[in-house]
Amino acid sequence: MITFVLFHALICSTFSLCLVEAKTDGFSIDIIHRDSPQSPSYDPHLDPWERVENSLRRSSIRANHLASLIVGPEAKTFSSGGEFLMKLSIGTPPLEIVGVADTGSDIIWTQCQPCKNCYKKKDPLFAPQNSSTYRRVLYNTNLCRAFRGKPWGQNKTICAYEVRYEDYSHSRGIASTEKFTMRSTSGQPISLPNNIAFGCGYDNVGVYNYDASGVIGLGGTSISLINQMSSLTGGKFSYCIAPKTQSSKMHFGAKAIVSGVGVVSAKMQISKNGFYKLKLKALSVGNKRFSVSSKFLCSSTDIVIDSGAVVTYLPRNLYASLEASMEKEIGQLPIADPRGNLRLCYKISDKISPPIVTIHFSHADLKLEMRNTFIQVRDNIICLAFSPEYEPIFGSKAQENFLVGYDLRKKTVYFKPTDCTKQ
């Protein structure tokens, strides 16, 4: 799921001007990691290694929830305590909201006034009664069915939604439509097409202990933000994750096209619950290749590509082969992770030289440098940023300094080695 902070968006003074920019050249937005000092979630009392530990803990929780979602009811989804935040403006006149950006969710929702049961948030909640463009979704419509809605109100004509998360958090309220805007990096305000469907939440319980109004669903279903803005973007978006917590970019439409020297592409599947998946064929450590074999029950397996999990999770036997081969190639005595989050760690003073790890997707071989395979957890300790799990996830550490592009219409993901600090 990337935590994205889009800077304050205004209603376009000339609506058509926004549409021209989006349709011809595309547009870009600034994205910010939740642990950056620019993030509303930033906690100045934490040291860098406490922040790393927290991100690894969130990554583990996310992986566990993904596994339960794949084998469990499709109505459930991830915990919404993700890595990235996203700012949008909603309504007429506009009010800025901050949501957790989540590729593991499809529904956009925010807390609304009057809220019967809401978690504390210092910023004002969206008041639909104050917006001239707010509308409720009617029950027994296709849009209500996309929300998996139920009838509500005295005449049972209004569409009520409910989102339940694996950590027992939830949001309940009215399925609605509203005008959304965002600001591009050029300063151009972007007005999203038509009115965007979202959930106006009046009963919200969860672990939202930072400045988030709700969740911005970025998955592959029809009511995610990505699909609802597809008339502007052609179903194309890309991101470039900079190392640590530096500023990054997200691109839409023509600006999201990934091309040039070094690009590799892989066919993508979009699951019913909106996950973006690639076919994992094998993994190489240096020149030694480990295939996904019959002991994994199939000749290939799906791996979810996700910006919300820091660590990359592999099938357990494949991870065991990676760890053993990596340890042999490095040839130094490993040490224990002080917090027990990861399994293969070394002292930086040992001056290790890890081999390149190649992820073999179907029709694409992606080479990962040391910056993609190891994460620093203390001043003098680095650990392999991979972990065993039943349901594989290709995490954000492995995607650092790659321009990663999605084309939902061609169902293809593109990777290009890029210095994301210069994007």
In sequence order, the β-bridge partners of residue 413 are: 266, 406
- Give the single-character DSSP code of 75: T
CA angle centred on 236, ends 235 and 241, rounded to 5°:
140
Q: Are 415 and 403 in contact (CB under 8 A)?
A: yes
Torsion of the alpha carbons at 180, 186, 188 and 190, rounded to the nearest 10: -30
Residue 171 tokens, joined: 């949001």
In sequence order, the β-bridge partners of residue 366 are: 359
Catalytic residue, chosen from 35, 106, 306, 407, is 306
Annotation marks residue 306 as catalytic: yes
Report the phi/psi class of residue 85: left, alpha or beta, with left for phi > 0 and alpha for psi in -120 to 50.
Answer: beta
In the block, which residue shows the tokens 């439509």? Answer: 177
Buried b (16+ CB within 10 A) or exposed e, 228-261: bbbebbbbbbbbbbbeebeebbbbbbebbbbeee
In the block, which residue shows the tokens 């915990």? Answer: 79
Cα 301 to Cα 96, 308, 358, 373, 411: the distances in Å are 41, 20, 16, 21, 17
CB atoms near residue 152 (< 10 Å): 18
350 burial level (CB within 10 Å; 0-12, 13-18, 19+): middle
CB within 8 Å of 118: residues ≥ 6 apart: 111, 125, 201, 202, 203, 204
Catalytic residue, chosen from 102, 106, 337, 407, is 102
Q: Are 305 and 278 in contact (CB under 8 A)?
A: yes
Annotation marks residue 407 as catalytic: no
CB within 8 Å of 14: residues ≥ 6 apart: none
- Residues classed as catalytic: 102, 306
